[in-house]
Structure 1
Amino acid sequence: MTVVAVVDVTAGPGVGFLPLVSLGPAFASLVGGMRRTALIGLLALALCLVLAVFNGQLGSVRGYTAILSVAGVSAAGLAATAVRQRHEAELANVRSIAEVAQRVLLRPVPRSAGHLRVAVSYTSAVAEARIGGDLYEVVTSPSGVRVIVGDVQGKGLEAVETAAVVLAAFREAAYDEPDLTAVSARLERSINRHMTEERFVTAVLAETHDDRSVTLLNHGHPSPLVVRADGTAHLAEPPETAPPLGMGFDLKPPEPYGLSLAPGDQMLLYTDGVAEARDPDDRFYPLVRRAFLLREASPDTGLEALRRDLVTHVGGPLRDDAAMLLLRYRVG
């Protein structure tokens, strides 16, 4: 508005910059509240009257047109502000509901479970997202600590619904079933019973025992990363590829396989948002080579360092959600 006034005074009454004063209330409606938009509208109208007098246009058609333009845009700006504020309130309510749903769906994991220290990280591919299809859970059962990390096919509310079904089934089965194979079969039944559309879930199930052995079951998911206390790292790959959950009972189930973890060793379970993250040159994230970032005093600090490195590698927003769950065997 100041720039328009200066230009109008400099150029003189013959140019016709006066209606551009309405840009003030127009832009105010994009960011300000009702009071601020109204004040700027009144200021614009007063400025337009002063400039009309200065230019000798107050009694002319051009002067009246400019004043009516500013008044009309100011009124439209107030209406737009009211609509924007209503939409912002509705969006805030939706976000609040989504945050509650996220807390119910992905409850905070315990910081310690048995001989393990636990850390978790979830990075959404959409900056404003509060909920997605990646899932994780840690359950202390009579058979040991049982863990799941998975990724639902697809996006949106359908993926969230499937994730909720899987997590609810896992939380029950982890306590009741005698082994991971039975837990897996129960998850398969739950998905096929509750899902009306074809939808599958890649997942890794893990069970740790008092003797520091670990049993793994891989349903077509990226292999866990094992980081030894001496810094060496490798992927704990399954003996053969198995189909994801939700593909049907007639397919061959995955074979359990195991490994041993010594004090200070770590195991990272993650989704394909980590495994398939690419830099601007289309190179995959070198997870094994970056495993040294996890060698921090705190599992949370190490996992946060890895998360920041992943985002730096991509060089922008992630293309897919990235969930990571780190298990560290305590020393002593």
Structure 2
Amino acid sequence: MAPRLGRTGPRRPWQSVHALLVLPIALIVVITVVDLRLPWHIHLGPTLVIAPALTPSFAGPRATAAIGALAVAAQILIGVHRGGVGTTNHIVQIITLAVLVVLTVLYSALRERRQAQLAQVRTVAEAAQHVLMWPLPEQIGPLRIASLYLAAEDEAQIGGDLYAATLSDGAVRLLIGDVRGKGLPAIGEAALLLGSFRESAHRRIPLAELASRLDQSVTRHAADLETPGEEGERFATALLVEIPDRDPVTRMTSCGHPPPLLLSPGHAVTVPSLHPSPPLGVHGGAEHTLDVFSFEPGDTLLLYTDGVVEARDERGRFYPLAERVARWTEDSPEALMHHLRRDLLAHAGGRLGDDAALIAVQRTAVERRRHHGRGDPARHG
């Protein structure tokens, strides 16, 4: 259970709105008082429209209407005090202010409706993200895990990059992949690959055979959905990783995916030499190679998609992932993801050109097998 916020905690949204409403009210009071004290030939009344015009930036249509009504009342008060509320000049000012207030309230209502629609989109995106990509547990057996997903499209939290993890006979199996395309159009292909992995990964089959099954699945899907002129355009890169609970090794099969980085204490970063096969869906029936590497306690394996290393700065330079992570080889997976998120977005100017996903897996010194999460995923197949 999350701890409750005390009285010194952050303000609720309605408290912030009420505090900000002081600004337009104070503005109306100041304009009114100053106008009443100025000579008769100087008029500040028309500037009262500033108050209702500011209000939609932080409040809804009701508050905007209230501020607008207060501004109109102040304009009438000024006219009465100057003894000319019935003159053509003051009548025009009052009517003009009232019309502008009505337009401002309508704008505020439309803006509030648009914000509600965007909030609904974000909610749907979050739900889809949890359905397609289940949150990875923080620890599986002797492994500590953290992940990061950055979608390229506005208002989207998922896209063509994907990752998943499952238990299989005393080992953890991980998938990270990238289907062709980005953002919402690529979600269908990502869902297919994730579903196929979850269905097959917990079975006692070698990693290379698992890659072949995923290849067949993507190939069948591409054949069903390809349109004329789109032949060979539906494919996905993928990296399959198997980490036994007790043996200090990691097994990998790459299907056209960028190789991971191995981070060791002492700021050492190495790139395992893989023998990749073509991407999934390109050549059905391609042979897949199993590569085995040492993975000792304290080491961290960093998996990523090409959206990370292809992120460019304003001068067109790619993100130097291996160089940057050398600073954080001794950090926890959670801290590493925090550093990478901040550093990557700073490099790209706050926005990526492609979806990006990362997984950090760190082997601990725990000898006995344990699992923290919602039970063993392998038993739900």
Give the TM-score category using the shorter length: 0.7 to 0.9
Q: Deviations over 1:189-219 (max 9, x none)?
A: 3323345144322221112234333221222
> TM-score, with normalisation over the residues of structure 2?
0.76
2:146 to 109, 115, 119: 119
1:206 to 238, 241, 260: 241
Q: Contact conserved, 2:150 with 2:157, CA < 8 A, in 1?
A: no
- Report what 1:218 is aligned to: 254
Task: Please state whether the residue corresponding to 2:176 is helix, strand or coil.
Answer: strand
Give distance in 2, aligned partners of 1:26 and 1:244.
55
* Farther off after superposition, 52-61 or 82-91: 52-61
Q: Contact conserved, 1:169 with 1:187, CA < 8 A, in 2?
A: yes
Q: Deviations over 1:236-269 (max 9, x none)?
A: 2323x5432232417x444332212222222110
CA 1:46–1:246: 2 relative to 1, 3 Å: same
CA 1:231–1:88: 2 relative to 1, 3 Å: closer
| Gaps in structure 2 of 5+ consecutive residues | 1-26, 227-232, 367-381
Give distance in 2, aligned partners of 1:260 and 1:230.
17
- Report what 1:160 is aligned to: 187
* Farther off after superposition, 103-112 or 81-90: 81-90
1:257 aligned to 2:296?
Answer: no
Amino acid paired to 1:205: L
1:97: Cα distance to partner?
1.9
CA 1:70–1:152: 2 relative to 1, 3 Å: same
Task: Please state whether the residue corresponding to 2:96 is helix, strand or coil.
Answer: helix
- Report what 1:84 is aligned to: 111
* Farther off after superposition, 273-282 or 42-51: 273-282
What count of residue pairs does the alignment treat as equivalent? 330
Q: Deviations over 1:96-128 (max 9, x none)?
A: 222111111121212233432222222344675
1:268 to 302, 307, 329: 302
Give distance in 2, aligned partners of 1:157 and 1:286.
27
- Report what 1:243 is aligned to: 278
Task: Please state whether the residue corresponding to 1:233 is helix, strand or coil.
Answer: strand
Q: Contact conserved, 2:264 with 2:330, CA < 8 A, in 1?
A: no
| Gaps in structure 1 of 5+ consecutive residues | none
Amino acid paired to 1:204: L
- Report what 2:11 is aligned to: none
Give distance in 2, aligned partners of 1:62 and 1:169.
75
1:18: Cα distance to partner?
4.1
Alignment of 1:10-21 (within 5 A): 18-21=45-48
1:166: Cα distance to partner?
1.0
- Report what 1:75 is aligned to: 102
Give distance in 1, aligned partners of 2:201 and 2:59.
52
Q: Contact conserved, 1:12 with 1:55, CA < 8 A, in 2?
A: no
CA 1:242–1:5: 2 relative to 1, 3 Å: farther
- Report what 1:97 is aligned to: 124
Give distance in 1, aligned partners of 2:106 and 2:314.
44
1:188: Cα distance to partner?
2.4
Give distance in 2, aligned partners of 1:20 and 1:57.
18
1:328 aligned to 2:362?
Answer: yes
Q: Contact conserved, 2:72 with 2:94, CA < 8 A, in 1?
A: yes
Task: Please state whether the residue corresponding to 1:176 is helix, strand or coil.
Answer: coil
> TM-score, with normalisation over the residues of structure 1?
0.86
Give distance in 2, aligned partners of 1:132 and 1:14.
63
- Report what 2:351 is aligned to: 317
1:232 aligned to 2:259?
Answer: no
Give distance in 2, aligned partners of 1:72 and 1:131.
44
Q: Contact conserved, 1:294 with 1:303, CA < 8 A, in 2?
A: no
Task: Please state whether the residue corresponding to 1:316 is helix, strand or coil.
Answer: coil
Amino acid paired to 2:262: V
1:172: Cα distance to partner?
0.8
Alignment of 1:167-206 (within 5 A): 167-176=194-203, 178-195=205-222, 196-197=225-226, 198-206=233-241
Give distance in 2, aligned partners of 1:19 and 1:194.
65
